[in-house]
Amino acid sequence: MEKRNSEISLRPRFTIELKEKKQEVLNRFADEFKKETTKFSGSFVDGHLFISVSKKDEHFWSPQLHLEIVEESDNTATLKGLFGPKPQVWTLFMFIHFIIGCSFLAFCVVLYTRISLNESIFFPIIMMIVLPFIWIVLYMLGKIGKDTGKNQMKNLHDFMINTINS
């Protein structure tokens, strides 16, 4: 049974209960990646699996599926999945968000200083209006990027489900 979070998040998560051992599932994915016909590439790191779209189908907004398989008992495991952009895209967006947040705080300080010194407050006020607008635009770009990669997300999900069930 698959349990999903809400559709609002930029990085959708889900959980699937498996009735088999962790290593069996990982081996099945490894076998799938060795096939010539597979449209995805994957890498394993300590029980974590990162599945990406093939290089020829990849674009800036292409998603990546991160799977973590946690062994619950001798014959059961829990698969935790997280869709997200490639790490480079995610890091870029977080860096830009950080810069905008710090700039907003800096302009709050400048505004306070200018009010205290009875100087013109026009520029700090304008920046305190523009920066949240830029933040909203970045959020919208993230949503557009997610929608652009939605077909690839569905393909990654279908590949994962087919591999688990095979």
pLDDT at residue number 147:
82
CA distance 11 to 8: 9
pLDDT at residue number 1:
56
Q: Inform me whether the pLDDT recorded for 10 exceeds 60.
A: no
pLDDT at residue number 123:
95
pLDDT at residue number 121:
95
Within this chain, do residues 19 and 55 fall inside the same structural domain, yes or no? yes
Where is the domain boundary, 85, 103, 130? Answer: 85
Q: Which structural domain, as residue segments, surrounds residue 57?
A: 2-85
pLDDT band at 4 (very low <50, low <70, confident <90, very high): low
The region that residue 41 occupies, defined by phi over 0 for left and psi between -120 and 50 for alpha, beta otherwise, is beta
CA distance 102 to 42: 36
- The CA–CA distances, whole Å, from 109 to 38, 101, 121 equal 55, 13, 11
pLDDT at residue number 85:
83
Within this chain, do residues 114 and 66 fall inside the same structural domain, yes or no? no
* 42 lies in some domain: yes
The model's pLDDT over 92-132, given as tens digits with 9 standing for 90+, comes to: 888 999 999 999 999 999 999 999 999 999 999 999 999 99
pLDDT at residue number 119:
95
pLDDT at residue number 125:
96
Within this chain, do residues 8 and 74 fall inside the same structural domain, yes or no? yes
Within this chain, do residues 121 and 65 fall inside the same structural domain, yes or no? no
pLDDT at residue number 11:
67
Within this chain, do residues 29 and 102 fall inside the same structural domain, yes or no? no
The model's pLDDT over 15-69, given as tens digits with 9 standing for 90+, comes to: 888 888 888 888 898 888 888 888 898 888 887 899 998 888 888 888 899 999 8
pTM (whole model) above 0.85 = no
Quick check: 120 and 111 in contact, CB under 8 A?
no
Half-sphere exposure of 1 (CA within 13 A, CB side): 1
pLDDT at residue number 61:
83
Within this chain, do residues 139 and 96 fall inside the same structural domain, yes or no? yes
pLDDT at residue number 8:
45
Within this chain, do residues 32 and 106 fall inside the same structural domain, yes or no? no
